[in-house]
Amino acid sequence: MPETGSEPAVDLAPSAQEVVRVQRRTVWVLSGGQVLGGLAFGATLSLGAVLAAELSGEDAFSGLAAAAVTFGTALTAVPLAAIARRRGRRLSLTTGMAVALIGVGLVIFAVALRSFPLLLAGFLIIGSGQAANLQSRFAAADLATDASRGRDLSIVVWATTVGAVLGPNLTGPGELIGGAIGMPPLTGAYLFTIVAQGLAIVLYLVAMRPDPLLLAQRVVASAKAGSRAIAKADRPVAARYAIFAVAAAHGTMVSVMAMTPVHLAHLTHEASEAATLSIIGLTISLHIAGMYVLSPVFGILADKMGRVPTILVGQALLAAALLTASFGQASTTAVTVALVLLGLGWSASTVAGSTLLTESSSEELRTRRQGISDFTMSIVGGVGAIIAGALLGWIGYGGLALVVMVLVAASVLLSPLGWRASTAATPEAVSGA
C-alpha cells in the first residue's frame, strides 16, 4: 500500500526485526499520548456533571454532560477509524485531539455565557478526543502477535492511569490559576486539558513514524504478494460478542459513574463546596485508577487464561460494584469502593473484549469493526447516562445500580457464543494486521 506524503519511505516487505522495533516504539509513544490524554479527560470528567447541573438548574440533567461526551465519541469513532484505514493512526489520533480542543474552548465560553445548550455542544465536540484515546488501544495491536496482543493493548490502556488519576484532582489548582487570569468559575482545570492535549498532538505527529497501521498493511500486502497465508480467518460471531461485551461494560460503568458526583454532592451537602469537590475528585480519581491501573494484569490474563474467561472476570467485578453501590449508597466510603470495583470490571471487560475483537476480524474488516465497536460502546454509554439521570431522580442511586445489573447478566448469558467462536482453530498470524 502506498505511503502518504508525510510518511518516510519504508520497504514494501519490512523485516521481522523492523516490525518488532516499530511495535515496541509504538507502544511507548501511545503510552505517552495516553498519559496526556488521560490528564485531559480526567479533568473534563470530574467537572462535567457539576457544570451541567449548575447551568441547567436540574440535577436530572447532570448526566447530559457525560452523555454529550459519549455521543460525541460515537459520532467521531467511525470517521476516525476511516481516516486511520486510509491515512494511518497518526493522522487519525491527532485529528481527534485537535477537534477536542475546540470543544474545550466552547465549554469555557458556555460557562461564561451561562448557556446550557452551548455547554452540551462543547462536551459533544470534546468526545472526539475520547474517541482518539479509545482508538489508541487498537493502534497498540496493529503489529502485535497472538502471544502479546492482550499485553500490548493493556499497557497502552494502563498508561492512561497517570493522567486520569491526576486530572480530577487538578480542579483546586486549576481554580486558583483560572481565577487569577479571569476564567469563569469551575473552568480553571481546563487549562491543564488544553496543555495536555496540545502536547499529545505534538507527540503523535513527531514520534509515530512509521505509522503502525500502514506498516501492518504492508506486512499483509507483502505476504499476499508472496503467497504466504498469514492472515487470520474472519470469525464474525466472536467479533459480535466482543463488541457487545465491551459496549455493555461501558454502559454499566458510565451509567453509575456519571451520577456519582451528584449523589456524593447530596451526601456531603453539609460540607463546604471545597470539601465536596475534594471528595468528588478523590472518588473519581480512584475510580479512574481502577479503570486503568490493573489493565496489564487483565491483558496478561487475556493472553494466558483466554479472552472470554477474562471478560467474565470483568462481569463478576461489575456485579460486585453494583451491589456495593446499591446497598452502601448512604456511605461515601462504600460508594468509593463501588466506583473502584466498577473501574476494575470495565478494565477487564474492555481489554479482553478489544483483544478478542481484533484477533477475530480479518485484516479487511478489522479497522471498520474497531470503529463500530467504539461507536456502539459510546452510544450505549450516552443513552445510559441520560436514562441514569432520570432513574436517579425516580428510584435513587441504589435503585439505579440494580437496574444496570441487566447489562451484566446479558454479557454472562451470551458468553457461550464468544467462547465457542473464540476457541475455533485458525492459522497462526505473523502480525495483528
Does residue 255 form part of some domain? Answer: yes
What's the whole-model pTM score? 0.79
pLDDT band at 124 (very low <50, low <70, confident <90, very high): very high
Check residue 258 and give its pLDDT.
Answer: 80
Segment 201-247, tens digit of pLDDT: 999 999 998 999 999 888 877 766 665 555 566 788 889 999 999 99
Q: What is the mean pLDDT of the chain?
A: 84
Rounded average pLDDT over 378-384: 86
Give the other-Cβ count within 10 Å of 176's Cβ.
Answer: 9
Q: Measured over all CA atoms, what is the biggest interatomic distance in the chain, rounded to whole angstroms?
A: 72
Task: Note whether residue 6 is domain-resident.
Answer: no
Per-residue pLDDT tens over the stretch 247-275: 999 999 988 988 887 888 777 655 566 66
Q: Is residue 410 part of a domain?
A: yes
How far, in Å, CA of 67 to CA of 69, rounded? 5
pLDDT-derived band of residue 43, with 50, 70 and 90 as boundaries?
Answer: low
pLDDT in tens, 70-86: 789 999 999 999 999 99
Q: What CATH number is associated with residue 285? A: 1.20.1250.20
Q: Is residue 8 part of a domain?
A: no
Confidence of residue 432 (pLDDT cuts 50, 70, 90): very low
DSSP string, 262-310: HHHHHHTTTS-HHHHHHHHHHHHHHHHHHHHTTHHHHHHHHHHT-HHHH
Q: Which comes out higher in pLDDT, residue 245 or 187? A: 245
C-alpha cell at 259: 451520577
Q: Can you give the residue range of the structural domain that contains 407? A: 16-422
Report the C-alpha gap between 135 and 372 in whole angstroms: 11
CB 378 within 8 A of CB 127: yes
Residue 6: what pLDDT? 47
Cell 458468553 locates to 415
Q: Is residue 428 domain-resident?
A: no
Residue 3 located in a structural domain: no
What's the total number of domains in the chain? 1
- Of 25-39, 50-64, 99-113, 294-308, which gets the smallest average pLDDT? 50-64
- What per-residue confidence (pLDDT) applies to 123? 92
Q: Are 318 and 342 in contact (CB under 8 A)?
A: yes
User: Please, which contacts does 48-51 make with residues 24 or more away whose CB atoms are closer than 8 Å?
Assistant: 48/123, 49/258, 49/259, 49/261, 49/262, 50/186, 50/261, 50/262, 50/265, 50/277, 50/280, 51/107, 51/111, 51/119, 51/186
Residue 172 in this model has a pLDDT that exceeds 80: no
Residue 11 resides in a domain: no
Amino acid 168 reads P
Contacts of 104 by beta carbon, 8 Å cutoff, 6+ apart? 44, 122, 126, 190, 193, 194, 197
Which amino acid, residue 343?
G
d(Cα 177, Cα 21) in Å, to the nearest integer?
42
Average pLDDT over residues 300-305: 92
Distance CA 93, CA 89 (A): 6
Question: Is residue 90 in some structural domain?
Answer: yes
In a 3-state reduction of DSSP, which class is residue 26?
A: helix
